[in-house]
Amino acid sequence: NAGVTQTPKFRVLKTGQSMTLLCAQDMNHEYMYWYRQDPGMGLRLIHYSVGEGTTAKGEVPDGYNVSRLKKQNFLLGLESAAPSQTSVYFCASKDRGLDDTQYFGPGTRLTVL
Amino acid sequence: AQSVTQLGSHVSVSEGALVLLRCNYSSSVPPYLFWYVQYPNQGLQLLLKYTSAATLVKGINGFEAEFKKSETSFHLTKPSAHMSDAAEYFCAVSPAGTALIFGKGTTLSVSS
């Protein structure tokens, strides 16, 4: 049981390049989330999904797209990276209960030059 | 809009001293409240959560938090700090049981 895994762990992009971050969970959770963490800002929600094939915008969705084609995977895409997207990205998942715990992946550190 | 305020971005204590990390929330309905801990270069780990079963919640590593509705607070405490408690701590609220709204975090430093 690996929990929540994220690929890659580190990445450096140039402005304008695109990339996809992959999140996978093996807990059969319905809900999945993408957050970004910036110094002094806490974690902010980018997009989330309440089930396979569904996605919704969070607090800071601009510049990102997501897809949930399979229940266990949640992809975060950057179509044209900008320096403002330099951040640490965390994926999380949880079951559908209102008070269920969110489980976090180890994070992806992205630098956009 | 729901929000979480963590008072003090940085708290320093001596080993063996009381740890008190403050969290206040705004919510029009009783929320679900969480404390997470993040060690350097790691993801977030759940310390404890309040789900209305009991106002005093005990978590891992000797931490506990008390839900006070009248003060809209959910402060985190530990009677005696250990060096291994040095980390960043996040308070979060889940008003509707889906997404979490995080505070900005408090970095705890523990000196010997």
Output the pLDDT for position A8: 96
* pLDDT class of B39 with cuts at 50, 70, 90: very high
Rounded Cα–Cα distance for residues A99 and A6 (Å): 24
**In the predicted model, what is the mean pLDDT of residues A4-28?**
96
Residues of A whose CB is below 8 A from B30:
none
Task: List, as ranges, residues 30-69 from B with C-beta within 8 Å of A.
Answer: 32, 34, 36, 42-46, 49, 51
Q: Which residue has the higher pLDDT, A92 or A98?
A: A92
Output the pLDDT for position B2: 79
Residues of A whose CB is below 8 A from B48:
none
Output the pLDDT for position B48: 95
Rounded Cα–Cα distance for residues A97 and A105 (Å): 20
Residues 6+ apart with CB under 8 A from B70: none
**In the predicted model, what is the mean pLDDT of residues B94-110?**
88
* pLDDT class of B29 with cuts at 50, 70, 90: low
**In the predicted model, what is the mean pLDDT of residues A48-77?**
96
Output the pLDDT for position B53: 74
Q: Which residue has the higher pLDDT, B3 or A34?
A: A34
**How far does the CA of residue B42 sit from the closest CA of chain A (Å)?**
5
Q: Does A39 touch chain B (CB under 8 A)?
A: no
**How far does the CA of residue B101 sit from the closest CA of chain A (Å)?**
7
Residues of B whose CB is below 8 A from A44:
102
**In the predicted model, what is the mean pLDDT of residues A7-32?**
96
Rounded Cα–Cα distance for residues A78 and A89 (Å): 12
Check pLDDT > 90 for residue B98: no
What are the b/e assignments for B70-91, b being 16+ CB within 10 Å? eeebbbbebeebeeebbbbbbb
Output the pLDDT for position B55: 87
Check pLDDT > 70 for residue A48: yes
pLDDT digits (tens, 9 = 90+) for B70-89: 899 999 999 999 999 999 99
**How far does the CA of residue A45 sit from the closest CA of chain B (Å)?**
8
CB–CB contacts below 8 A, A to B: 57
Rounded Cα–Cα distance for residues A88 and A36 (Å): 6
Q: Do A99 and B99 touch (CB under 8 A)?
A: no
Considering only the beta carbons, identify the residue of B43, B98, B101 that sits closest to A90: B43
